[in-house]
Amino acid sequence: MPTLLVPNPLPAISTYNRCMTALPWTLRSLRAALARGSVQPHELAEQALAVANRNAGRNTYLWRDPAWTMAEAAHAETILPSEGGPFGDGREALWGLPISVKDCFDLAGAPTSCGVHFYRDLNRIATRDSWLVERLRAAGAVITGKTHLHPLAYGITGENPEFGDCVQPGNAGALTGGSSSGAAASILEGSAVAAIGTDTGGSVRAPASLCGLAGYRASLGRGDWRGGAHLAQSFDTMGWLFRDLEDGPLLGQLFAPAHVEPHGPFTRFAVIVDGFLHDCDPEIVDSLHGAAAELESLGLRKFEFDPTWWAGSFEIFAPIQAWEAARIHAGHHDEFQPSIRERLEWGSRITEAEILALRQRHADFNARVDELFAAHELLLMPATPVSRLAVGADHSQTRARLLRYTTPFSLAGVPVVTIPGKCGGMQLAAARGNDEALLELAARLGARRKIAAGASGA
């Protein structure tokens, strides 16, 4: 039977360390080993399952079935090698790799909770896979389970009164951030090499920043939401959390359209002015300046941009999000925790005339953002103003504080890579549709970091 919130017995820490030391837990390293035949999908699945739900709350996953995962690994092994492909064995980039999926996408034979008991019980067992799960399984990926999320994906801390707050594996005093909370935890604990998340107002970018991970938020409209639960259609995007920036281009292929217009190499970028960062931890500002210097070392010219006119972005984003979410969850508002119920009830009271006015402001905002990208190609700023969210602290003001940094790019619907830094993570954003070029640039940065670390002996 499937297991809900019940972990496997944890292995001895020495076994865990041997697994991780012998085979670095990144897409490229594991996939190359699979191509050589030095490891098999079932062995990676066993390692992943052995450390699943390793955080203090034992709730990285809201649904998992080890027997089902092992059967998926066995099926992957029936895909015979040939020639070509990204690793020379004729198989797709995700073949044989342990991948976790946020529990707002249907997987046949499992419930879809959206982070609340109400939908887990109402939806019961899905009878078919979502588009996203279909894509993963067709590629030969081995899904390790469905991960924890902030209720309805309507929050950015990873707190959840029904399934328990999601804390970082190995750091029980720190929340993962959300709403793709379990996605981040699955990477930190080593139960997945890459994790599917979603990003409406920062739900990939925030946990990536807070957990020291890389993140990718796709351009709005990439991927197919069939079998996926929306929060607010105007802003919902698919994404990934992962460790190594060099893995980004391969992961991005999952959402890419059949034909992508080529984009030449980027030549310039603009970093946000320090005046915007008045509520940022000093260490975050230092990391921002360090990331800017790294981009300059790749040959890009640096400029600055002053987004004073962004001050109203949350005033546009929050009511549109609430209006759309209220309609998705109409008739069920009383089933959810008070803070979310209040937002949904607020959204239900917003009139059609008010929404029309907000959508015009949204269009005007996006036109100005387009001008910024036309002038600078890339924009760089922190993903979060802090590097840690403490467990048990009062986070009633945290959502608004973090969304001040993330909602401008959510409104614009642009692709963003979260670049992990010495402290926190940085958002590097490009114009809509330039996902591939953005991921390639981030991969170059990741490769340069490895060379620098090797030269320094780090």
Q: What is the pLDDT along the chain (458 residues), one digit of tens a residue?
A: 333 332 333 333 223 232 333 457 899 999 999 999 999 999 999 999 999 999 999 999 999 999 999 999 999 999 999 999 999 999 999 999 999 999 999 999 999 999 999 999 999 999 999 999 999 999 999 999 999 999 999 999 999 999 999 999 999 999 999 999 999 999 999 999 999 999 999 999 999 999 999 999 999 999 999 999 999 999 999 999 999 999 999 999 999 998 888 888 999 999 999 999 999 999 999 999 999 999 999 999 999 999 999 999 999 999 999 999 999 999 999 999 999 999 999 999 999 999 999 999 999 999 999 999 999 999 999 999 999 999 999 999 999 999 999 999 999 999 999 999 999 999 999 999 999 999 999 999 999 999 998 877 66
pTM for the model: 0.94
Spatial CA neighbour of 287 closest among 385, 187, 177, 417 = 385
> Using CA atoms, how far apart are residues 119 and 113, in angstroms rounded to an integer?
5
- The predicted pLDDT at position 261 comes to 85
For residue 212, give every residue at least 6 positions away whose Cβ sits within 8 Å of its Cβ, in sequence order, or none: 420, 425
Tokens standing for residue 388: 């840690």
Query: What is the amino acid identity at position 275?
Result: G
- The predicted pLDDT at position 458 comes to 63
Q: Which helix (H) or strand (E) holds 338?
A: helix 338-349
- Cβ-in-10-Å burial (0-12, 13-18, 19+) of 308 comes to exposed
- The predicted pLDDT at position 1 comes to 34
- The predicted pLDDT at position 16 comes to 28
Q: Which helix (H) or strand (E) holds 240?
A: strand 237-242
Query: What is the amino acid identity at position 15?
Result: T
> Using CA atoms, how far apart are residues 157 and 345, in angstroms rounded to an integer?
21
- The predicted pLDDT at position 24 comes to 76
| Sheet strand arrangement including 214-217 | 61-63, 142-147, 98-102, 194-199, 237-242, 214-217, 416-420, 425-430, 378-382, 268-272, 301-305
Spatial CA neighbour of 1 closest among 72, 75, 63, 73 = 63
> Using CA atoms, how far apart are residues 409 and 429, in angstroms rounded to an integer?
8
How many CB atoms within 10 Å of residue 112? 25
Tokens standing for residue 104: 């707002």
> Using CA atoms, how far apart are residues 398 and 79, in angstroms rounded to an integer?
47
- The predicted pLDDT at position 264 comes to 87
- The predicted pLDDT at position 399 comes to 96
Using alpha carbons, list the distances in angstroms from residue 37 to 29, 80, 87: 12, 12, 12
- The predicted pLDDT at position 107 comes to 98
Query: What is the amino acid identity at position 243?
Result: R
Tokens standing for residue 345: 């009830």
- The predicted pLDDT at position 189 comes to 97
